[in-house]
Amino acid sequence: MSSVHHRTATVDGHEIFYREAGPADAPAIVLLHGYPTSSFMFRELIPLLADSYHLIAPDHLGFGHSDAPPVGEFTYTFDALAELTSGLLEQLGLDRYALYVQDYGAPIGWRLALKHPERISALVTQNGNGYEDGFVESFWSDVWAYGAHPGPDTEPAVRAALGIDAIRWQYLHGVPDPSLVSPDTWEHDHALVSREGNDEVQLALFRDYRNNRPLYPLLHEFLRTSEVPVLAVWGRNDEIFGPAGARAFARDAKDAEVHLINGGHFLLESHLDVVAGYLRGFLGRVLG
């Protein structure tokens, strides 16, 4: 089994943590995590791919082991997180790579693709939304209300997402056998978002999430014009990003490969081998 290295790089004055594995001259894959986790979500996937691919999995600023400056010292937006990710990849000399995106990783990844479309060799979305079709309204209505009118009337509903019960729900909802999901996952994430000041970091990103939606038409145009290969592998029981969000990629991506799996939002925790199998098959076909 290939070794996984745990490294940091300084990007625009901020220490960004990342996991790296695989031969440096192999096709590159950049793995971008979602909320409320970190590159920790890829801890078991990376070794399964590292024999054939060069993998880079960063922690976004404010998450995991990366720096987490307070909101008074850094303006947390998805634009800003994407710029830091872009800076990291340029520092590492990656000028061609596939993207694997999940949850928050998706709007960050879409920005990378739109900024440098020539660098993207393939897209893999695992419950990473790119269409209005994907939003489950029962989950997102509070986020939209808070983004439009942040204040004491709308904040409590989204602040609840920082609690242990809400984070546990993200891992367990839609999973037929919850005993497959380790409690280490939600306890790890909750500990990190509970650090002093990190609540304000997360609230800032909740407010900014609505600014991802105007990117979707640009993403769709990129999919049509670039004909970049797309794999959507999705937990069909996800109550955050529903399965319609996966199917929608087939509207714009030529020959998009879509697989709906009997799982939830964090599919790697319950269906790691299934996802890895689809991923290896897809990457083997499109990257050679």
Task: Give the residue from 86, 54, 61, 66 showing the smallest Cα distance to 17.
Answer: 66
In the predicted model, is pLDDT for residue 288 greater than 80? no
pLDDT above 90: residue 1 = no
Cβ neighbors of 91 (< 8 A, separation 6 or more) are 9, 11
CA 209 – CA 78 distance, rounded (Å): 8
Half-sphere exposure of 195 (CA within 13 A, CB side): 17
pLDDT digits (tens, 9 = 90+) for 65-76: 999 999 999 999
Neighbours of 155 (CB within 10 A): 17
Q: pLDDT-based confidence at 32, cuts 50/70/90? A: very high
Q: What are the residues whose beta carbons fall under 8 Å from the beta carbon of 40, sequence distance 6 or more?
A: 33, 64, 185, 188, 189
Report the chain's mean pLDDT, rounded to a whole number: 97
Residues contacting 128, CB < 8 A, separation 6+? 34, 101, 102, 103, 105, 106, 109, 241
Q: Which residues contact 185 (CB under 8 A, 6 or more apart)?
A: 37, 40, 41, 171, 266, 269
E strand map for 166-248:
230-235
What are the residue boundaries of the structural domains of the chain, listed by start? 4-287
Residue range 248-258: mean pLDDT, rounded = 97
Quick check: is 259 catalytic?
Answer: no
CATH superfamily of 4-287: Alpha/Beta hydrolase fold, catalytic domain (3.40.50.1820)
pLDDT tier, 281 (very low <50, low <70, confident <90, very high otherwise): very high
Q: Once rounded to an integer, what is the mean pLDDT over residues 215-239?
A: 98
- The answer to whether the bond into 117 is cis (omega within 30° of 0) is no
Contact 74, 48 (CB under 8 A): no
* Closest listed residue to residue 283, CA positions, set 29, 34, 57: 29
Any residues with CB less than 8 A from the CB of 111 and at least 6 apart, and which?
78, 79, 82, 86, 215
Q: What percent of the chain has pLDDT over 70?
A: 100
| Catalytic option among 60, 65, 173, 265 | 265
CA distances for 122 relative to 143, 227, 259, 284, angstroms: 30, 9, 16, 11
Residue 221 is inside which H or E element, if any?
helix 216-226
d(CA 284, CA 288): 5
- Give me the mean pLDDT over the 157-169 stretch: 98
State percent of the chain over pLDDT 90.
99
Please state the pTM of the whole predicted model.
Answer: 0.98
253 closest CA partner among 130, 165, 150: 130
